Amino acid sequence: MNGVGKLYFKYGTMGSAKTALLLTQAYNFEERGMQYLCMKPIIDDRENDNVIRSRIGIERKCSWIYSESDLYEMLKDIFEKTLSVKDWILIDESQFLSAQQVDQLARIVDDYGVNVVCYGLRTDFQSHMFEGSRRLFELADTIEEIKSTCSCGRKTIINARIDSTGNIVTDGNQVEIGGDDKYVSLCRRCWRNRRIESTSRNAIKFDDE
Ligand SMILES: [Zn+2]
């Protein structure tokens, strides 16, 4: 029950290869014979195979985190019952954790000395912080930005939601599952320009009617 664990938050926009980095880290642990456990909040009920998969084709099994999961109890059980203590916990899509679940992770780090690495988005499609991400910014020992580049060359900041014609969508639910068909990562300036374009395109459409 000693050791110096850390809570990490590694954040980036969509398409910044967060999942690929998580899986690469998992692979490195395997190479070195280290124990780890992958986890992911379940957000899509249709999802039934418990794997974390990246677009480059690698995947690893993961445990689901449900909205009602108590991560402290869940992980405490694993540490006390499993002979091989998992030294590293890797969590994908950690923006979908509740603030309470992040608190539970922090407690696991402090009580058991394990390392918990959370990968996730900083903000939603309206540029506001997700609950899990906000708490991670508040509590993490180490915060690291995974940078990626907008088509204009600047750093991406925003996960913009788009409709089927590529117009920027500004209203809707915070959580809506989708890939390249629904989201585009943009710098703040391109986000603003694309919103202005989308608004004027819509205005023209209405004029025609
Ligand atoms: Zn840009």
The residues placing their C-beta within 5 Å of ligand 1, an ion, are 150, 152, 154, 187, 190
What confidence tens digit (pLDDT) does each residue in 61-72 have? 999 999 999 999
Query: For residue 77, what is the enclosing H or E element?
Result: helix 71-81
For the cut 60, the answer to whether the pLDDT of residue 209 exceeds it is no
Domains of the chain: 1-147 (3.40.50.300), 149-209 (3.30.60)
CA atoms of 35 and 30, how far apart (whole Å)? 7
CA 185–ligand 1 middle distance (angstroms):
9
CA 13–ligand 1 middle distance (angstroms):
13
For the segment 183-208, the average pLDDT, to the nearest whole number, is 87
What confidence tens digit (pLDDT) does each residue in 115-136 have? 999 999 999 999 999 999 999 9
Q: Which of 123, 116, 85, 159 is closest to 9 using CA atoms?
A: 116
- The first and second tokens of residue 6, run together, are 């850390």
What confidence tens digit (pLDDT) does each residue in 142-179 have? 999 999 999 999 999 999 999 999 999 999 999 988 88
Mean pLDDT over the full length of the chain:
90
For the segment 33-56, the average pLDDT, to the nearest whole number, is 83
The pLDDT, as a whole number, for residue 47 is 66
CA 164–ligand 1 middle distance (angstroms):
20
The pLDDT, as a whole number, for residue 1 is 46
